[in-house]
Amino acid sequence: MSVGVQIKETPMAKLSFAGPVLLRLRSLARISHIAIATALRHALGRRMAPDWDAQMETGIRFVRHQFTRAMAGGDMARGRLLFDSLQPETDDVYDVHVRPAAGFRAKWYVPAQQRREVVLLYFHGGGYAFHGGVSARYAQMLAHRTGARVFAPDYRLTPEHPHPAQAEDAMAAWAYLTAEVPADRIVVAGDSAGGHMALMLLQALKTAGERQPALCAGFCPWTDIGDRGASLRENDRYDLVQGWMALQFGQWLDPEERFGREALSPIAQDYEGLAPMYLQAGGREVLRDMIIEFAQKQKALGAEVTLDLWGDMPHNFQAYDSLHLSSAQALERLNAAIDAYAGGGGALAPLAGVTVD
């Protein structure tokens, strides 16, 4: 099933504001400064990446700056307000109705044109520490582009609530959803830390003796909470998430090392016999190497996993939607994966130049 994305000849983005006015103004001043500096660098031939325009580079530099300020301030409540105060967005229009879930901390994102009976159980990203407008926008995009209902839990965040809070919330969301929807009609999905949450849920379901979902879809999933892969540092210059941030998120998840890196890292688990996994990664993101290694290890163990890698993209690039060909193609591939594993279409065929063996 095609998502019907048309790539814009003249890509445009908009700014979305939220929260205290003072933080909005400070963030607006910062992105304006970054935009001017980026335009000057491009005029001098000093691009972050040769194939990225000034608009994309400005967005990446701005989000990186906001993450850095929010995490370094010592007050995560205010840091979240800062991060959410201004978000660059595409100008894609999502015809999606949003309503709270009855009796559960979650929201339903229901596309006006529902084309599928499957439901996406979507865990948002943000390093387990952030949740705001960017996550709501991502959920709307998934609902609109897949034509499926999206159930998005509002799980507890670190550092206030370390593990096992998120694992408990994932299982609670599964129990709530499967009371209404059969397991084989559910696609468990997540971006970044949400991808970590989705992958770890498969292990929790195995331990509990419960049925697996039809598919697990991970968008730039965090597969190791520790220090793994050269890209964790080498891709800092390209990515909106930095290697040190990923390590900090891991420390916040298990601050006293009560559980340990292996217990909390999908790459240390065995997924043979569990739900098929469809993963996406960007070639310029800091998590690239650990995602590739995870997929290769799981294939060797006998798990059913497909990894698509878009070499020109940073972390969570799917959110660029129609602004970039790779993002639109990634959403097309998600639909193909859903059709294959939740729609009876058989195994997902590899995509030349993108699928990693």
CB 56, CB 240: distance < 8 Å = no
Interatomic CA distance for residues 156 and 140, integer angstroms: 21
Interatomic CA distance for residues 300 and 285, integer angstroms: 24
Instruction: Please give the structure tokens belonging to residue 83.
Output: 């991060």
Q: Could you tell me which residues come within 8 angstroms of residue 218 by beta carbon, excluding any fewer than 6 positions away?
A: 189, 190, 191, 195, 198, 199, 277, 278, 279, 280, 291
Interatomic CA distance for residues 34 and 64, integer angstroms: 11
Alpha-helical segments (H) within the chain: 21-43, 54-72, 76-84, 133-146, 165-178, 193-208, 231-234, 243-253, 261-264, 288-301, 325-342
Instruction: Please give the structure tokens belonging to residue 48.
Output: 């972050």
Can you say whether the dihedral through the CA atoms of 281, 286, 289, 290 is positive or negative? negative
pLDDT of residue 128: 98
Q: Could you tell me which residues come within 8 angstroms of residue 121 by beta carbon, excluding any fewer than 6 positions away?
A: 151, 153, 173, 174, 177, 186, 187, 188, 189, 198, 213
Closest by Cα among 4, 8, 5 to 323: 8
Task: Provide DSSP, 179-202.
Answer: TTS-GGGEEEEEETHHHHHHHHHH
Instruction: Please give the structure tokens belonging to residue 254.
Output: 């298990």
Interatomic CA distance for residues 123 and 235, integer angstroms: 25
Counting every residue written for the chain, the total comes to: 357
Predicted TM-score of the model (pTM): 0.96
3-state DSSP assignment of residue 227: coil
Task: Please list the ranges in the chain whose pLDDT falls under 50.
Answer: 1-3, 9-10
CB 150, CB 119: distance < 8 Å = yes
CB 170, CB 204: distance < 8 Å = yes
CB 267, CB 32: distance < 8 Å = no
User: In this structure, which amino acid lies at residue 89?
Assistant: E
Structural domains of the chain sorted by starting position, each given as residue range(s) with its CATH number in brackets = 92-356 (3.40.50.1820)
Listing from the earlier edge strand, what are the strands of the sheet with 149-153?
96-100, 106-111, 149-153, 119-123, 186-191, 215-219, 277-282, 305-310, 355-356
Closest by Cα among 11, 182, 18, 169 to 86: 18
Summarised one tens digit per residue, pLDDT across range 176-188 is 999 999 999 999 9
Torsion angle of alpha carbons 80, 88, 101, 144, nearest 10°?
Answer: -160
Interatomic CA distance for residues 140 and 56, integer angstroms: 21
User: In this structure, which amino acid lies at residue 142?
Assistant: L
Q: Convert 92-130 to b/e letters by CB count within 10 Å (16 or more is b).
A: bebebeeeebeeeebbbbebeeeebebbbbbbbbbbbbb
3-state DSSP assignment of residue 347: coil
pLDDT of residue 9: 46
pLDDT of residue 6: 59
Q: Could you tell me which residues come within 8 angstroms of residue 80 by beta carbon, excluding any fewer than 6 positions away?
A: 70, 129, 130, 131, 132
